[in-house]
């Protein structure tokens, strides 16, 4: 009900266009990521204030390892806080600098650190971005996008007597799999070697992806049930950052924690949907580019840091991605076959989509579990 309430405005009437949506998205994400409180002339990260454990797992940047209960970065604006946090190792960019030579021996004892703050922030960021997309659609800015609306575009025959949200029961109920998948990965703890900061970063990356699955399922169900243009546009738009997130995750595995790079990847992905306004096949072209980028980056990461297990997960994910595309494109053509008459190509396409989500999780978490810290190779 909460998720439906977030996207309900896109089904209502239009309102006056809102200028600067891209700047608003950046500002809100920056504030959400790094909201701070002022205390005696210092900027203190609020999620680090209530620590009762001593010594603190993350000491102040100006203190010696093992001391302090908050991270003070000086009286600087939120906008530049992201780069400062990365440089000072707040998120564990330089574990040896923060914890000294004892990092390798002490980090294993810290792996029970609670992941709830990272999970909450990840879900909040996904919700904020999704709501901003819904608000942009609500303005009517994407009324020129070519989308398919109507039950005639689905091979599954509607069942008379069922409510609208179950008119096509299989194509509707399959979207619950996304919610179950997101909930499953959300509660899983990442298996990540290194310091607690490394574990928190891995948890955040995982939970953002899980949050995307939690949102995507209801959005797709809303599209099938309502058969309205705004719901169809939102379904298309949110597909792009989902494919972009594995690219950002792979960049983290290859290059380390670079928050501005991750934000740029997702921002570029969201902005690329504007191509759908320029050409009737703009979305298909953009989606193809996203898929190629995700597979290409995953292959590069597999070549540098992968294992036989991660290679198997990557191969299965690519196979499911191929099924996701082909089965959806040939939904009506496949309906002549008995296997695809009740459970249609669109249904099996969603099954493949959910499975490629799952194998992407398995690939990325497997590589992350075997990943050495970027600075480890430089130390002798």
Over residues 356-371, mean pLDDT: 91
If residue 360 lies in a helix (H) or strand (E), which one and from where to where? helix 345-369
Q: Which two tokens stand for residue 233?
A: 């546009």
How much is the mean pLDDT over the chain? 75
CA 38 – CA 159 distance, rounded (Å): 59
Checking if the pLDDT of 369 tops 50, the result is yes
Q: What proportion of the chain, given as a percentage, has pLDDT over 90?
A: 53
DSSP 272-315: GGGHHHH-TTHHHHHHHHHHHHHHHHHHHHHHHH--HHHHHHHH
The answer to whether the beta carbons of residues 265 and 251 sit under 8 Å apart is: yes
For the segment 29-58, what is each residue's pLDDT rounded down to a tens digit? 444 444 433 333 443 443 344 433 333 333
Partnered with residue 39 across adjacent β-strands are: 42
Model pLDDT, residue 368 = 87
Higher local confidence (pLDDT), 53 or 285:
285
User: What integer pLDDT is reported at residue 194 of this predicted model?
Assistant: 66
| Ordered structural domains, the chain, with CATH | 2-13+20-26+113-371 (1.20.1070), 27-107 (no CATH)
Q: What are the tens digits of pLDDT across the range 240-270?
A: 999 999 999 999 999 989 999 999 999 999 9
Return the pLDDT at 116. 58
Lookup: tokens for 110: 């810290």
pLDDT (tens digit per residue) in 106-121: 343 334 434 457 788 9
Average pLDDT over residues 173-182: 96
DSSP 46-85: GGGTT--SSS-SS--TTSPTT--SS-B--S--GGGHHHHH
pLDDT at 84 over 70: no
DSSP 190: P
Closest CA relative to residue 5, chosen from 137, 165, 127, 147:
127
């Amino acid at each position: 009900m909460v998720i439906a309430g977030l996207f309900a405005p896109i089904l209502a009437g239009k309102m006056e266009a809102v200028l600067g949506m891209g700047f608003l998205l950046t500002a809100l994400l920056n504030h959400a990521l790094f909201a701070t409180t002022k205390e005696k002339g210092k900027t203190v990260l609020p999620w680090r204030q209530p620590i009762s454990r001593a010594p603190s797992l993350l000491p102040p940047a100006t203190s010696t390892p093992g001391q302090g209960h908050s991270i003070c970065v000086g009286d600087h604006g939120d906008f530049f806080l992201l780069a400062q946090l990365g440089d000072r190792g707040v998120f564990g960019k330089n574990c040896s600098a923060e914890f000294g030579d004892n990092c390798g021996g002490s980090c294993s004892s810290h792996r029970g650190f609670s992941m709830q703050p990272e999970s909450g922030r990840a879900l909040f960021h996904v919700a904020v971005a999704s709501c901003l997309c819904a608000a942009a659609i609500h303005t009517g800015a994407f009324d020129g996008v070519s989308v398919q609306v109507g039950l005639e575009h689905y091979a599954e025959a509607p069942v008379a007597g069922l409510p609208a949200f179950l008119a096509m029961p299989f194509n509707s109920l399959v979207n619950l799999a996304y919610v179950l998948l997101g909930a499953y990965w959300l509660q899983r703890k990442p298996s990540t070697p290194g310091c607690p900061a490394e574990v928190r970063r891995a948890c955040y990356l995982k939970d953002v992806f899980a949050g995307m699955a939690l949102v995507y399922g209801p959005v797709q169900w809303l599209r099938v049930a309502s058969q309205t243009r705004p719901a169809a546009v939102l379904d298309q738009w949110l597909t792009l950052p989902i494919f972009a997130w594995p690219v950002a995750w792979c960049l983290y595995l290859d290059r380390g924690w670079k928050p501005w790079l991750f934000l740029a990847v997702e921002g570029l992905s969201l902005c690329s949907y504007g191509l759908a306004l320029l050409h009737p096949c703009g979305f298909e072209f953009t989606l193809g580019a996203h898929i190629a980028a995700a597979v290409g980056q995953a292959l590069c990461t597999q070549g540098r840091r992968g294992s036989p297990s991660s290679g198997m997960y990557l191969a299965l994910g690519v196979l499911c991605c191929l099924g996701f595309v082909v089965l959806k494109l040939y939904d009506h053509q496949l309906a002549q076959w008995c296997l695809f008459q009740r459970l249609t190509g669109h249904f099996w396409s969603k099954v493949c989509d959910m499975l490629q989500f799952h194998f992407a999780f398995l690939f990325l978490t497997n590589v992350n579990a075997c990943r050495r810290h970027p600075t480890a190779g430089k130390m002798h």
